[in-house]
Chains A and B, each alone.
Chain A
Amino acid sequence: MKLKNGFITHNVGKTQMMVATGAASTAFHGLVRSNETAAFIVNCLKQETTEQKIVEAMLKEYDAPAEVIARDVHSVVEKLQGIGALE
């Protein structure tokens, strides 16, 4: 899975802002605000990946138990799927 074309991000301070442009903007009009960890997950999704691969990448970066990270990744992925941002 991967972030659909047309979703673009920009960091303002420690918050990542994501909006939909072009064709993607007809389905999603809002703004996604992500904290540092959620932004890490969003950035992983800019290339084709899987939840498992994202969890592995996060384990290298963050000092947290694997099950907590897996739960966080799943929750962010679900939210992005909910707004139609993934393909």
Chain B
Amino acid sequence: MTEFTVKLADIPVRIRAIRPEMRQFLQEYLTEEEAELTIETRQEDIDRERVMSARTRAAEGLSEFRPGDAYLETLAVYRKLAEALVERDVLLFHGSVVAVDGEAYLFTAKSGTGKSTHTRLWRQAFGDRALMINDDKPLLHVGEDGVRAYGTPWNGKHHLGGNCSAPLKALCILERDKENHVERVSPEDAFPRMLQQCYLPEDGEKVEKILALLERMSQCVKLYRLGCNMEPEAALVSYQGMQEEA
């Protein structure tokens, strides 16, 4: 049993975890501030993650993999966090977020499409102007007049991103293509993909809240669809394409 407070998406959260590794995992986010909510995991939460993880891997046709309790507990904690943070207008989103000149761009797509590859091209193209916020599962605070993307320790297999945040300028649905091109898409067209890449709890009331937050986000963030290859040019085309004025 280990207990500590971390600040995620600007909200201090008390974590009561079973495995000692949890503190190490969240180390970069530790805070002395007083917690506003508490997340506690139990062995049954870890066991539930084990069952779900095995089921997901089987559904995706992946080989059997036996994750340890420490890893499974990170999943259990994030699930509970995501469910609690919905009440604070915060969403757990699946995508890779990179900021350039202080403005964040979120690339979302199914796993294996090339989100991480694309944001790597951005880092290569923009050098010090680029800051990696999160490569896999950022938190998004959906405010009345804008969205802010936050780094989390759940940042993908290459552990890219850190304890930082930036206002979200654009959300981009990434698809592979031979040529690079980027177009604006309407909220109606982007919504199904946004919903697919957002963590949805089982609780219907929370899902209703998430639908409303996603809609608000679709109104206050510019939405694009990017077709891209893996050449360096892809980063320049997508950056340029997202610089148009309102």
Residues of A within 8 A of B (CB): 6, 8, 10, 12-15, 17, 19, 21-22, 25, 31, 33
* B215 lies within 8 A of A10 (CB): yes
Q: Which of A6, A13, A15, A31 contacts B204 (CB 8 A)?
A: A6
B52 close to A (CB within 8 Å): no
Q: Are A8 and B207 CB-contacts (below 8 A) given A19-B195, A25-B202, A31-B192?
A: yes
> Given contacts A21-B207, A31-B192, are A10 and B202 in contact (CB under 8 A)?
no
Which of the segments B67-75, B174-182, B183-191, B224-232 contacts the partner chain? B183-191
Q: Kindly provide the distance from the CB of A46 to the nearest chain B CB, expressed in whole angstroms.
A: 14
Partner of A19, one of B188, B207, B212: B207
Contact with A along B209-236 (1 / 0, CB 8 A): 0011001001000000000000000000
Assembled-state Cα–Cα distance A15/B189 (Å): 9
Indicate the member of B187, B191, B204, B208 with the most A CB atoms within 10 Å.
B204
Please tell me if B244 contacts chain A, counting CB pairs below 8 Å. Answer: no
In the complex the two chains form, is B195's CB within 8 Å of A13's CB?
A: no
6 more contacts with CB within 8 A, not counting A17-B191, A17-B211, A22-B202, are A10-B212, A10-B215, A12-B188, A13-B186, A14-B188, A21-B203
* Most chain B CB neighbours (cut-off 10 Å) among A10, A12, A15: A12
Assess the A8–B186 pair: CB atoms within 8 A.
no
Q: With contacts defined as CB atoms under 8 Å apart, how many contacts are there between chain A and chain B in the complex? A: 42
Interface of A is mostly: strand
Q: Which residue of A lies closest to B195 (CB)?
A: A31
Q: Which of A8, A15, A25 contacts B211 (CB 8 A)?
A: A8
Q: Are B186 and A17 in contact (CB under 8 A)?
A: no
Q: Which of B187, B200, B207, B211 contacts A13 (CB 8 A)?
A: B187
Contact with A along B115-132 (1 / 0, CB 8 A): 000000000000000000
Smallest distance from the beta carbon of A6 to chain B beta carbons, Å? Answer: 6
Give the residue of A6, A13, A25 whose beta carbon is less than 8 angstroms from that of B188. A13
B171 to chain A, nearest CB (A): 14
Other-chain residue from B188, B204, B211, B215 in contact with A22 (beta carbon distance below 8 A): B204
| A22 contact set on B, CB distance < 8 A | 202-204
B188 / chain A contacts, CB cutoff of 8 Å: 12-15
Given the complex, which residues of B lie within 8 Å of A12, measured CB to CB? 187-188, 191, 215, 218
Contact A19 B186 (CB under 8 A): no
Known contacts A31-B195, A33-B192: A8-B208 contact under CB 8 Å: yes
Instruction: Please name all residues of chain B whose beta carbon is closer than 8 Å to the beta carbon of A15 when the two chains form the complex.
Output: 188, 191
Q: Which residue of B lies closest to A14 (CB)?
A: B188
Does B208 lie within 8 Å of A10, measured CB to CB? yes
**Cβ–Cβ contact B202 & A21, under 8 A:** yes
Q: How far is the CA of A68 from the CA of B238 in the complex (A)?
A: 46
- Which A residues touch B191, using CB under 8 A? 12, 15, 17
